[in-house]
A and B are shown apart, each in its own frame.
Chain A
Amino acid sequence: MINKVVASAEEACKEIQSGMTIMLGGFGLCGIPENCISELVKLKVNNLTCISNNAGVDDFGLGFLLQHRQIKKMVSSYVGENDEFERQMLSGELEVDLIPQGSLAERCRAAGAGIPAFYTPAGYGTEVGEGKEVRVFDGKPHILEEALTADYAIVKAWKGDKTGNLIFKGTARNFNPAMAMAGEITIAEVEELVEPGELDPNQIHIPGIFIQKIFKGHSYEKRIEQRTTRKKD
């Protein structure tokens, strides 16, 4: 099997440069590549275009990159819960492209699947549809959305093997598989890295062919954004 293992986030990210477009998996703070985000802060790369469903919170996730003014443009579906984000957006320092969540996921998936564009009903008749080609199928208007590509996709999985096969846990899967497929180069950070053959091929969520570099991450904080509980009776 092809060995994709690199030693660390540092080695995985060393060729990432200022001005690049980077996809980052995760939904809210769930399933985000914590190790690589910290590494991008250390690398001090800037003018990044980040494609990610959300933009983290002030002091965690992509919020770190915003704090250090490393992001030029965010492509997301929802960006609340972040004061620094709001400040940079309102002052014009940060460009923001808001995309319906399903279109964002499908635009990533399409890029990875060799589909340059597709029609979707989402956003028709709204400002999202402005300037986009409209076609009616079955009596219903759809807009043309183009695939989204990135120099790097950075994803986080629960388990991975040395050849890049990945398994996710719970709802931490979210955007990670579609982005893994879309990256020119895809880096996967995993909680557990095992030998090829140790993962059941029947249970793998993303085949290693989509992954170029994999490493075992460490010190996952896995911060909870909204801790909601109920009391035992």
Chain B
Amino acid sequence: MRVFLSLLALAVIALGIAMTLTDIPFGKPKADIATHYVENGREDTGAVNIITSVVLGYRGFDTLGEVAVLFVAAMGLGAVLATGTRTPKANGWEPASLVLYTGCRFLFPLIVLFGAYIFIHGHLTPGGGFQGGAIIASAFLLTYLGCRGRRVHEAWSSAVESLGGLTFVVLGLAGLTAAGHYFLSAFLPAGTLGQLFSGGIIPLIYIAIGLKVGSELAGVIDRLVEESQ
């Protein structure tokens, strides 16, 4: 009965979506805004990567909202999982087998470096703050694999997280006052296109987002691992 009802509902949903799908052509340009972004994105924001110029240049305020959603989700997870006070283990952490432990110790700095590279070059190459942050969080996941019971330092993690969010907001407010136009306006010089030091405030915001997302996701992993032990 349950399966039949769900298949019926599914058929209705699929039919409704399929009827709208027939009106969408595949592989043809659909919106004029795309051409506008591609043609003017470099001059307007100074970022060679047009996706970055959309995420942080044209839709910077929207991105601040997304970062806030991420923060609230991580906070809700902490509120659901943190029931009692933390009890630090008496014997500390126990390493896994020698090969796994050494491999994780060797790979950890390299992965963090790669994540930092991804978010520092967010305006030049594919990638950016969110992706770099996720890569950094995966490095912390690796330490749990190689070393059972090892924890993220909570004070440092929340300090980095707050600093990242604060940098984003402060840069936005600085744009409001310095350039006198609007929140998150590009008040720093755009520089030469394609250089590392270019794009005005975009690399700075992406570094802030990278640190924030990295520490936030590392904190999420940390709480889930703590709960499952």
A and B together in one complex: no
